[in-house]
């Protein structure tokens, strides 16, 4: 009888305990499995670390830095808000270094103006530009003289295009006036929409003839933004879309968004902001490529221009079939040291010179390793390119070296301020 009572009691205990045992079992299993769940989460956090932003400088602190760097800026609070937003939109931290890098560039190239001022065009310069337009666009069978007469009467005698072009004080006015002339002269009313949307060849000609190539507070090249957006959309942009980009770059928001993207949102591998400033002027990875050119020159014991371009490009930024002097020098180094790379392999590697991957190509590795073996010295990874760029009329003709030094000086001064 006692055994029966004991068995009955045990049965009740087990029955009551089953739900709890089940819960414990689930917890144990979950704990045992958690490393497999947690591991990929850790991987995502590590691979996407830049998107987990630190708080960084406040808008008030950024406003103070802008006011110290450019005392004449009246709306520094608005600039600071848009600057911080531009960094966040690009998943970049609002660190003291990043903020000061942006301030240094903006102060150097535009003095915190979304549409920088330009020098007035002379009649001579204007006629030269109009002659180019007539020649390349065949503007309704105009001669240069008849086109000038048309400009002086349209859209009205009092507010004609010629006067607008001659008296334009900002990039934006000159740019928009040019676009209105093109719209009036090139596009017939019934074809305007189709041409704006579909004609890629005409699009390139019209953009090539627009004298305003860099726009906004950070003077970002329009071609850079077009390239970025075409990569994002995986298709060519229409002329209407390019004109919309131009308008966006004249805003503080758009100008600084693409400026931050160009300056900071890529893995340059540099140990100093100095080389990013040089790249901003000469093109991404130009400093790394100039360092590579210097390495090639050392191995060849002959001068090689350190301009940061290993290939020759057309106006649209597409590599041409012409073999550059840098490519010839690289081929010579490969042959001199018997590095077992074909000219085809070398050229294929050089096509990656505008990407981070170039420094992992067989050509780059073979030449840098040869240099280290021969000299027992570390390779010069980056060098400020030795080139002179023709900037817009708002920017003096500066060598990349001088531009970089001026921006870096502003940057260092900003870092000293809190």
Residue 393 has pLDDT above 50, yes or no: no
Task: Report domain extents, the chain.
Answer: 60-120+168-265+404-418, 276-387
Residue-level pLDDT at 12:
54
pLDDT (tens digit per residue) in 15-24: 555 444 444 4
Which pLDDT band holds residue 143 (cuts at 50, 70, 90)? confident
Residue 46, pLDDT score: 32
Give the separation between CA 211 and CA 171, rounded to whole angstroms: 9
Do 82 and 256 touch, CB atoms closer than 8 A? Answer: yes
Can you tell me the distance from the alpha carbon of 260 to that of 254, in angstroms, rounded to the nearest whole number? 10
Does 9 score more than 90 pLDDT? no
Question: What is the pLDDT, as a whole number, of residue 392?
Answer: 44
pLDDT at 71 over 60: yes
34 or 330: whose pLDDT is higher? Answer: 330
Most confident region among 132-141, 188-197, 294-303 by mean pLDDT: 294-303
Q: Residue 364: how many CB atoms within 10 A of its CB?
A: 22
What is the C-alpha to C-alpha distance for residues 350 and 352, in angstroms, rounded to an integer?
5
Contacts of 53 (CB under 8 A, 6+ apart): 88, 91, 92, 93, 94
Q: Which residue has the higher pLDDT, 101 or 4?
A: 101
Per-residue pLDDT reduced to its tens digit, 333-350: 999 999 999 999 999 999
Q: Judge whether residue 160 has pLDDT over 90.
A: yes
What would the pLDDT profile of 211-267 be if each residue is shown by its tens digit?
A: 999 999 999 999 999 999 999 999 999 999 999 999 999 999 999 999 999 999 999
Residue pair 113/172 in contact (Cβ under 8 Å)? The answer is no
Residue 28 banded pLDDT, cuts 50, 70, 90: very low
Among residues 175, 221, 252, the alpha carbon closest in space to that of 391 is found at: 221
């Amino acid at each position: 009888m006692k055994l029966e009572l004991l068995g009955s009691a045990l049965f009740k205990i087990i029955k009551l305990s089953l739900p709890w045992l089940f819960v414990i079992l689930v917890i144990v299993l979950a704990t045992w499995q958690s490393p497999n769940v947690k591991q990929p989460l850790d991987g995502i956090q590590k691979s996407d670390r830049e998107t987990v932003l630190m708080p960084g400088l406040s808008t008030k602190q950024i406003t103070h830095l802008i006011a110290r760097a450019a005392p004449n800026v009246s709306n520094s609070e608005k600039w600071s808000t848009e600057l911080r937003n531009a960094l966040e939109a690009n998943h970049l931290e609002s660190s003291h270094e990043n903020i000061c890098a942006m301030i240094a560039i903006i102060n150097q190239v535009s003095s915190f103006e979304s549409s920088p001022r330009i020098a007035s065009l002379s009649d001579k310069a204007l006629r030269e530009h109009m002659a180019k337009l007539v020649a390349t666009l065949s503007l309704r069978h105009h001669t240069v003289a008849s086109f000038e007469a048309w400009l002086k009467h349209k859209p009205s005698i009092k507010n004609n295009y010629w006067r607008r072009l001659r008296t334009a004080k900002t990039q934006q006015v000159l740019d928009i006036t040019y676009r209105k002339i093109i719209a009036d002269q090139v596009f017939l009313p019934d074809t305007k929409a189709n041409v704006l949307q579909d004609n890629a060849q005409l699009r390139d000609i019209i953009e090539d003839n627009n004298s305003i190539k860099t726009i906004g507070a950070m003077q970002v090249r329009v071609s850079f933004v077009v390239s970025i957006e075409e990569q994002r959309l995986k298709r060519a942009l229409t002329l209407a879309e390019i004109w919309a980009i131009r308008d966006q770059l004249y805003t503080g928001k758009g100008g600084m968004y693409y400026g931050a993207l160009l300056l900071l949102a890529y893995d340059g591998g540099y140990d100093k902001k100095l080389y990013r400033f040089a790249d901003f002027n000469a093109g991404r990875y130009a400093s790394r490529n100039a360092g590579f050119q210097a390495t090639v020159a050392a191995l060849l014991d002959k001068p090689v221009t350190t301009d940061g371009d290993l290939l020759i490009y057309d106006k649209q930024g597409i590599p041409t079939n012409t073999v550059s002097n840098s490519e010839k020098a690289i081929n010579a180094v490969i042959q001199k040291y018997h590095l077992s790379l074909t000219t085809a392999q070398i050229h294929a590697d050089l096509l990656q010179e505008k990407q981070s991957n170039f420094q992992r190509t067989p050509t780059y590795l073979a030449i840098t390793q040869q240099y280290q073996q021969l000299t027992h010295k570390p390779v010069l990874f980056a060098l400020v390119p030795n080139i002179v760029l023709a900037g817009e009329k708002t920017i003096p003709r500066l060598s990349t070296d001088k531009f970089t030094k001026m921006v870096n000086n502003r940057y260092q001064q900003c870092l000293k301020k809190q």
